[in-house]
Amino acid sequence: MEWIISIILAYLLGSISFSYIVGKKLANIDIRQHGSGNAGATNTLRVLGKGPAALVFLLDVLKGVASVLTAKYLGDGSHAIMITSGLASIVGHNWPVFFHFKGGKGVATTIGVMATLVFKAAFFAGIFAILSIVITRYVSLGSLIFATLLSVFIYFLDYELIYLYVGLLITILAYIRHYKNIINLMKGKERRLGDSKRSL
């Protein structure tokens, strides 16, 4: 029962689209109808600016953290319940029940989940991702680097095997959610950070 409750709560928490809420509150827009159409921090940055984007990113990370910690409390520290709940929150962010299953790509929520579960691996993967974004200004590339290196660091830091499986699953999910970005990167058409905002 604790398992079911934790997963449902995590999915519902993940389904709270902070980019949509911030867009409505600040500009009375549906963020999914502007910019790239993605309900996430990067599109919020392009459409609304740095402040709203930072808020969205932080809140999306925190809902990943909260999902895992809630599961830890309800499941008496069970790693399996924490992991499945963390994944449920990512799924909720990507396919939110409150917003007709049209959400974001789950990167910020994934950071929150994995930083709570495997902090060192997430930290080192995050460093490389940030460096990539700073150098290339491609957020999508940084996100893919984070998702890819996460599994690598989980392996070399000798976490339990179950975390490696989770890392690989998240890597696959990230590539699926970023398939359009991958195509744009290959064609040289991907938008960089700092590109002009699209009009509201």
Residue 56, in any domain of the structure? yes
Supply the pLDDT for residue 146: 97
Give the pLDDT of residue 140. 93
- Here the tokens at position 61 are 């990370």
145-174 residue pLDDT tens: 999 999 999 999 989 999 999 999 999 999
Average pLDDT, the chain: 92
HEC profile of the chain: CHHHHHHHHHHHHHCCCHHHHHHHHHHCCCHHHCCCCCCCHHHHHHHHCHHHHHHHHHHHHHHHHHHHHHHHHHCCCCHHHHHHHHHHHHHHHHCCHHHCCCCCCCHHHHHHHHHHHCHHHHHHHHHHHHHHHHHHCCHHHHHHHHHHHHHHHHHHCCCCHHHHHHHHHHHHHHHHHCHHHHHHHHHCCCCCCCCCCCCC
| 163 within some domain | yes
% of residues, the chain, pLDDT over 90: 81
Domain span including residue 98: 2-187
**38-52 pLDDT, tens per residue?**
888 989 998 999 999
More confident residue, 195 or 112: 112
Give the pLDDT score at 1. Answer: 78
Give the chain's domain count.
Answer: 1
Residue 199 lies in a domain: no
Domain for residue 175, yes or no?
yes
113-140 pLDDT, tens per residue? 999 999 999 999 999 999 999 999 999 9
pLDDT confidence of residue 200: 34
Is 192 a member of any domain?
no
- For residues 139-172, one letter each, b for 16 or more C-beta atoms within 10 angstroms of the residue's C-beta and e for the rest, the string is bbbbbbbbbbbbbbbbeeeebeeebbebbbebbe
Residue 195 has pLDDT above 70, yes or no: no
Q: Which tens digits make up the pLDDT trace of 65-82?
A: 999 999 999 988 889 999
Q: Look-up: residue for tokens 């895992």?
A: 68
Assessment of whether the complete model's pTM goes beyond 0.85: yes
Residue 182 pLDDT more than 80? yes
Q: pLDDT digit string (tens) for 23-42? A: 999 999 999 899 888 888 98
